């Protein structure tokens, strides 16, 4: 399997031009209500042209329309409110694994890149908190356009695992803890993780961090984790720590452990009222994202 590079992640921008990233509620709806702002100022989003009225800013006069209609007209703008979109990436050595078309780490990077491009194309500001192993999570403050996306992609590439190793079981907790003091009300938080080390501390931190923001959980999985080993004997483990395992003898216990882990994550998502989406290494990322971003839970 080939690890992604910057050229590949940058090229994904073209694959998402028709997609939009919409929160379950408008970005500022929790604080300001789900309606269009009545305040009109010099924002970036043009709204309409109308006849000039006494007191209007003369800098907004539309001279083309004025010349064509013979009466002075002025431009009105809807107040610009850029939404911060935070990508929380839980990268660790345990993601250097995949039984199908890609590693779990590769799936995470490709998904994060597509979400970042969709957000930037929609006028949002893109930032990230990226946990990787025992290191302090990297923080990339939200910025607009390519200036926001490209540093995120580069940091993800540098943080991706390049060899098997022992998973870091505190990466997600550290990432969410790092994000908490940075978050602004009305932000959209996209958490990408395999949630292998979910615990009460992580749930509590997620609950407080997402209190005034929209959040979505994206679960990185592989079919082998769910189904267990096929019939036969296999050498499994990490380098210098390998042992033989029988698919027939271990499958039932394997699947029971997986179902318990799955239920723990589902229960947490329901308690916190956070949408949960499952992504698999078996599926092409572009097809998955086309389906994912058209789900009703993304719509405002």
Q: Go through the domains of the chain in sequence order and give each one's CATH number.
A: 6-26+82-298 (3.40.50.410), 38-78 (no CATH)
Instruction: State the pLDDT at residue 30.
Output: 36
More confident residue, 71 or 52: 71
In terms of Cβ atoms closer than 10 Å to its own Cβ (0-12, 13-18, 19+), residue 101 is: middle
- Percent of the chain surpassing pLDDT 70: 82
Q: Rounded mean pLDDT of 54-72?
A: 85
Could you give phi then psi for residue 271, rounded to 5 degrees? -65, -40
Check if the beta carbon of residue 96 is closer than 8 Å to that of residue 105. yes
Check if the beta carbon of residue 21 is closer than 8 Å to that of residue 119. yes
Check if the beta carbon of residue 144 is closer than 8 Å to that of residue 120. yes
Helix axes 145-159, 104-121, angle to 10 degrees: 170
pLDDT in tens, 192-205: 999 988 899 999 99
* DSSP state letters, 117-148: HHHHHTT-EEEEEEEETTSPPEEEEEEEHHHH
Instruction: State the pLDDT at residue 218.
Output: 95
Structure tokens at 238: 């990490």
Q: Specify the pTM.
A: 0.77
**DSSP SS3 for 108:** helix
pLDDT of 299 > 60? The answer is no
d(CA 149, CA 128): 9
pLDDT in tens, 229-284: 777 776 766 677 777 776 666 777 777 888 998 999 999 999 999 999 999 999 89
pLDDT of 51 > 80? The answer is yes
Picking from 209, 165, 217, 228, the residue whose alpha carbon sits closest to that of residue 193 is 217
Instruction: State the pLDDT at residue 36.
Output: 40
Q: Rounded mean pLDDT of 145-166?
A: 92
Q: Rounded mean pLDDT of 145-150?
A: 93
* Average model confidence (pLDDT) across the chain: 83
More confident residue, 87 or 76: 87
pLDDT of 79 > 70? The answer is no
DSSP label of 61: B
pLDDT in tens, 14-39: 988 888 876 444 333 333 333 343 33
Check if the beta carbon of residue 90 is closer than 8 Å to that of residue 193. yes
Instruction: State the pLDDT at residue 55.
Output: 65
Alpha-helix residue ranges (DSSP H) falling in 22-144: 29-32, 63-69, 104-121
Q: Rounded mean pLDDT of 203-218?
A: 92
Instruction: State the pLDDT at residue 49.
Output: 83
């Amino acid at each position: 399997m080939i690890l992604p590079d910057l050229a590949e992640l940058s090229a994904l921008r073209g694959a998402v031009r028709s997609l939009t990233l919409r929160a379950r509620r408008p970005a500022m709806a929790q604080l300001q209500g789900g309606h269009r702002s009545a305040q009109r100022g010099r924002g970036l989003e043009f709204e309409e042209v109308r006849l000039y009225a006494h007191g209007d800013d003369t800098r907004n006069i539309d001279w083309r329309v004025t010349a064509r209609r013979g009466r002075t007209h002025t431009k009105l703008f809807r107040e610009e409110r850029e939404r911060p979109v935070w990508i929380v990436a839980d990268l660790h050595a345990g993601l250097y694994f995949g039984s199908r078309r890609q590693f779990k780490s590769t799936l995470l990077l490709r998904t994060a890149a597509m979400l970042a491009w969709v957000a930037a194309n929609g006028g949002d500001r893109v930032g990230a908190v990226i946990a990787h192993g025992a290191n302090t999570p990297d923080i990339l403050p939200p910025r607009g356009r390519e200036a926001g996306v490209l540093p995120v992609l580069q940091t993800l590439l540098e943080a991706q695992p390049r060899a098997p190793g022992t998973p870091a079981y505190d990466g997600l907790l550290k990432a969410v803890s790092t994000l908490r003091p940075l978050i602004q009300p009305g932000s959209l938080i996209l958490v990408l993780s395999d949630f292998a080390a979910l615990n009460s501390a992580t749930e509590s931190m997620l609950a407080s961090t997402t209190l005034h923001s929209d959040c979505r959980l994206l679960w990185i999985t592989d079919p082998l984790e769910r189904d267990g080993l096929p019939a036969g004997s296999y050498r499994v483990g990490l380098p210098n720590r390998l042992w033989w395992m029988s698919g027939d003898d271990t499958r039932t216990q394997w699947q029971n452990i997986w179902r318990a882990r799955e239920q723990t994550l589902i229960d947490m998502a329901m308690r916190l009222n956070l949408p949960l989406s499952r992504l698999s290494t078996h599926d092409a990322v572009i097809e998955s994202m086309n389906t994912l971003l058209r789900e009703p839970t993304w719509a405002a």
